[in-house]
Structure 1
Amino acid sequence: MKLALITDLHANREAVQAVLDHARQQGVQRYAFLGDYVGYGADPGWVIDTVRQYVQDGAIAVGGNHDAGVVQGASPQMRPEARQVIEWTRAQLNDEQARFLTQVPLSRTENDMLFVHANAFAPAEWEYIQGRIEAVRSLHATTCHYTFCGHMHEPKLFHLSGTGKAGDFVPTPGVAIPIPPHRQWLVVPGSAGQPRDGNPAACYAIFNIAEQTLTFQRVPYDHELAADKIRRAGLPERLAARLAHGQ
């Protein structure tokens, strides 16, 4: 079975639709959404409704810090522009959309896989996996051999051997990577709606469970339309401009 791993959608309808279309063309049979459905972009309601429909059809979904911000109020650690978008987003959602954000869990375990937005060691504190130290800490916090998380907007793959040797690398899009279960793996697919590695194309990954391979994907989309919507919504200009540069 092919499982699509999609995270940090950030209310970017154009990017999310492009990713979903691409995943379907790749023969994906199931989907896992790793949080941050809202924030930054201009289509939070559409993104939430789309994810809700996939969940009703059997997809996995966990919540992110921007989702929690809409429900609970923006955290002091958030930048002013992110806080502004959180307040704007709250006013855009209907009751059912807001309820979805309150009900989505912070993490979910299925078989030998853990799905979480930020990390496995403290999901509700939103600490980033910035390198091997945080990755190993996260892998030590679970017995699962496969951990899938978002929060970091750049694609990355970490691994930990049974002897405690850790490694990481930046994947090449479209190249299948063997990830056998004699090691632990931590997968950061990169952001679908807000990539920040200098490439504006949307990110996601496909886990072929039967073959135990992982393929990172990049999908071009109409970032100019997404940026124009942000401007028309009256949101900060930087949030629109950065989409063209993947920053």
Structure 2
Amino acid sequence: MKLALLSDLHANRQAFDACLAHARAQGAERFALLGDLVGYGADPRYVVQQAMALAAQGALLVQGNHDAQAVRPQPAAAQQAPSMAALSAAWTHAQLVAEERDFLAALPLTAVVDGILLVHATADAPERWRYADNAVVAQQSLDAATQHPGVQHVFCGHVHQQSLFYRGTGRSLMRFAPVAGVAIPVAPHRQWLATVGSVGQPRDGDARAMYALLDTRAWLLRFERVAYDHAAAAAAIRATGALPEFFAQRLERGQ
């Protein structure tokens, strides 16, 4: 099976469409969305509706922190100084209809399929929204995930960058910097944790969208970068008249 792993879509219609098209052209047979379908971007309804359609076709989905915030945004009266994320959550909540909010609310924090654990943040405490951006946190997440029988691979998002950790001969994890488009053997005799990057808001200085493609027949993992019309996505944010300008600039800079 070729499984396309997409995370942190962040209501970016243009990036999501580009990644879906790219993955299908690469032979993707199933999709997994690893959270943060919404937040920051201008098209939350479109992205959620596409996610609902994919779920009906057998896609795997987990909830991200921005999804949870959009379902139940913190009241402005409870905030001393609302953050940009909080402003985005309130705006997104108002855009979504009840069915779409219910869909986000019902998403699980983790999912397990065929020896693979999917989570937005970390498997040890998914509700805390920790970043698996270093070997210590990645190891804690992998240790927790591999308590599930048969699980050798963990895929997560939240970090907005692409990285791969694996357990060598000792207990400590080793970090590998992937190259886009180059397949990496991830045989299940080892244990692996990958952050698949962000479809809708890359933060490594490269504006191209990110996702990963896993071939479970050959156990090959390929991290992908996909060019898309980020200028149109930025223009859509500005056209809302409500979302911060910084969100548009971030897409243009890729950071």
TM-score range, shorter chain: over 0.9
1:165, distance to aligned residue in structure 2 (A): 3.6
After superposition, what is the alpha-carbon deviation per residue over 1:149-207, rounded to whole angstroms, capped at 9, x for unaligned?
00000101111135314201221000000001111100111000000000000000000
Give SS of 1:120's match.
coil
Give SS of 2:9's match.
coil
Tell whether the 8 Å contact from 2:122 to 2:129 is kept in structure 1 after alignment: yes
Tell whether the 8 Å contact from 1:162 to 1:182 is kept in structure 2 after alignment: no
What letter matches 1:195 in structure 2?
P
Task: Provide the C-alpha distance between the structure 2 equivalents of 1:45 and 1:23, rounded to a whole number of angstroms.
Answer: 22
Q: 1:244 aligns with which of 239, 242, 252?
A: 252
Q: 1:129 aligns with which of 111, 129, 132?
A: 132
Q: Normalising by structure 2, what TM-score?
A: 0.94
The equivalent residue for 1:174 is 181
Structure 1 segments unaligned to the other structure (5+ residues): none
Confirm or deny that 1:69 pairs with 2:72.
no
| Identity %, equivalent residues | 48
Single out whichever of 196-205 and 141-150 deviates more from structure 2: 141-150
Task: Provide the C-alpha distance between the structure 2 equivalents of 1:81 and 1:165, rounded to a whole number of angstroms.
Answer: 37
Tell whether the 8 Å contact from 2:73 to 2:93 is kept in structure 1 after alignment: no
What are the residue-to-residue correspondences of 1:42-81 with 2, within 5 Å?
A: 42-74=42-74, 80-81=83-84
The equivalent residue for 1:211 is 218
Q: Normalising by structure 1, what TM-score?
A: 0.97
What are the residue-to-residue correspondences of 1:130-149 with 2, within 5 Å?
A: 130-143=133-146, 144-149=151-156
Task: Provide the C-alpha distance between the structure 2 equivalents of 1:80 and 1:72, rounded to a whole number of angstroms.
Answer: 15
The equivalent residue for 1:105 is 108
Task: Provide the C-alpha distance between the structure 2 equivalents of 1:128 and 1:74, rounded to a whole number of angstroms.
Answer: 22
CA gap 1:79/1:186 in 2 versus in 1, 3 angstroms: farther
Task: Provide the C-alpha distance between the structure 2 equivalents of 1:125 and 1:26, rounded to a whole number of angstroms.
Answer: 34
What letter matches 2:20 in structure 1?
L
What letter matches 1:191 in structure 2?
S
Task: Provide the C-alpha distance between the structure 1 equivalents of 2:130 and 2:172, rounded to a whole number of angstroms.
Answer: 23
CA RMSD across the alignment: 1.4
After superposition, what is the alpha-carbon deviation per residue over 1:13-51, rounded to whole angstroms, capped at 9, x for unaligned?
000000000001001000000000000000000000001
The equivalent residue for 1:83 is 86
Tell whether the 8 Å contact from 1:32 to 1:60 is kept in structure 2 after alignment: yes
CA gap 1:156/1:52 in 2 versus in 1, 3 angstroms: same
The equivalent residue for 2:202 is 195
Structure 2 segments unaligned to the other structure (5+ residues): none
